[in-house]
Amino acid sequence: MTTTDLSDRTVELSESLSRRLDKVAKAYGATRAEAVEYLVRWALDRIESRPAIADERAQRADARNDPRLDWWRDAKFGMFIHWGLYAIPAGIWKGQEIPGIGEWIMYRARIPVAEYEQLAKQFNPVKFDAAEWVSLAKQAGQKYMVITSKHHDGFCLFHSKVTDYNVVDATPFGRDILKELADECQKQGMRLGFYYSQTQDWHHPDGDGNDWDYDPAQKDFARYLEEYVKPQVRELLTNYGPVALIWFDTPKGITAEQSESLVELVHELQPDCLVSGRVGNRLGDYASAGDNRIPAQAVEMDWETPATINDTWGYKVNDHNWKSTEDLIHKLVDIVSKGGNYLLNVGPTAEGVIPQPSVERLLAMGRWIDVNGEAVYGTRPGPIQGVDWCRSTVKPGRLFLHVFDWPTNGEIAVPAGAVDPARAYLLADPSVTLPIERYGDTLLIKGPAKAPDAIDTVIVLAET
């Protein structure tokens, strides 16, 4: 993009920002377009150089070997569900496309509470079928599901006594979505966790974020936490059977004492329930990477990447930027090879339908996992790290080589120091042994000339 393009396409700037920009340009004897380009590059470099896992969202040190996490450590792949009133406008407010992620529409368009809450009267997802959603997650190979019980807009997808602003009391639908999902998860043997926005709440006068209806100076966050958040967390952990985890989010400004008190409350109510790293202050049971961020190397922590299939979490009618199945499988394997879990999001429509492009991709991932799940679930990072063409995972006695780029001659070269296998075979067809030749520091595994799996062929290097 040239600087002229940049100035032409510069997003609408507020007057004060515009003035500051002109000042910078003038001070450096540059044009406005050059100043924009320079600042954008600087900001992007800063953003890209942030660690994938921010320190405040890291894992509590004493959780690293906690057996309560064993199921989660082995699960590797989960379904995230962002669902709420924002699915109704689906990215468009009063005929205008609102930029950004769909569930932020209230904030981005500065929609007054009195107006936004009217959406509840239209929320009637008659096509919602908990059994279908759970079954989709199972077919995709996902081992746990996490749904938004309350996102930043404050609307609750569960029957809460703390507020009427919930799916049972405020909508024509009148059914407790979390209850139906929890019952179905029990039935189908799926673990279920609840996302809960503990700091941002644009509906509540004391919640963080809404400065267009409420004066920030009048907000009492401690009161909100004690009188609203904690009673709701208590409801979530009392009325829905065993809860796998509470996925707190955007810790923004929460103190260590406040984070700690939430962790304690969760553990007191359900000792086995995990708490996401986004409770803040390095107090979560596991670490949370930034949205769609994948660390460059294996990480010595239990961690998870929450990620989108397109660009939004909550449904947006005009977001068609779907990642390919190949990309999604590579991301899953990349994450697993570095010791993480992949929590992949779907954003159902206002009718309660998971968009077809998401369904197709999840089913395709499931088909790959049906064949190769052994090299994913229950594995740990393998010794071959930091190369583009493959990833590695291990289980006792076996190394799984995930080959993304199959060599044209079918000869796979791996460093001999990393493994000393007695046998090599394709995970998809264990009956065929692949010849292994040793050349000094290199092992040459002789596979077929054509990649058996165009996305990721898994070769097993077995010790016996």
Where do contacts with ligand FHN occur on this chain (CB under 6 A)?
Answer: 101, 103-104, 249-250, 291, 306, 313
139 vs 250, which CB is nearer to ligand FHN?
250
Least distance (Å) between residue 154 CB and ligand FHN: 13
What are residue 353's phi and psi, to 5 degrees?
A: -110, 130
CA triplet 413, 385, 391: central angle to 5 degrees?
70
Least distance (Å) between residue 333 CB and ligand FHN: 21
Residue with the CB atom nearest ligand FHN in the bound state: 306
Least distance (Å) between residue 22 CB and ligand FHN: 32
Tokens standing for 443? 């092992």
CA-to-CA separations, 258 to 324, 449, 457, in angstroms, rounded = 41, 58, 47
Q: Residue 296: which H helix or E strand, with range?
A: none
10 vs 250, which CB is nearer to ligand FHN?
250
Residue 440, classified by CB atoms within 10 Å of its CB into exposed (0-12), middle (13-18) or buried (19+), is exposed
Least distance (Å) between residue 56 CB and ligand FHN: 13
202 vs 368, which CB is nearer to ligand FHN?
202
Q: Residue 233: which H helix or E strand, with range?
A: helix 230-236
290 vs 410, which CB is nearer to ligand FHN?
290
With CA atoms as reference, report the closest residue to 302 among 267, 343, 266, 268. Answer: 343
d(CA 307, CA 143): 16
In this structure, the chain runs to a length of: 464
d(CA 254, CA 17): 29
Least distance (Å) between residue 146 CB and ligand FHN: 10
141 vs 306, which CB is nearer to ligand FHN?
306
103 vs 456, which CB is nearer to ligand FHN?
103
Are the beta carbons of 445 and 459 closer than 8 angstroms? yes
Least distance (Å) between residue 71 CB and ligand FHN: 21
The two beta strands, 340-346 and 77-81, are parallel
Least distance (Å) between residue 404 CB and ligand FHN: 26
The DSSP line for 52-63 is: SS-GGGSBPGGG
70 vs 291, which CB is nearer to ligand FHN?
291
The two beta strands, 96-97 and 380-381, are unpaired
350 vs 384, which CB is nearer to ligand FHN?
350
Least distance (Å) between residue 211 CB and ligand FHN: 16
CA triplet 263, 267, 273: central angle to 5 degrees?
100
Q: Residue 329: which H helix or E strand, with range?
A: helix 325-337
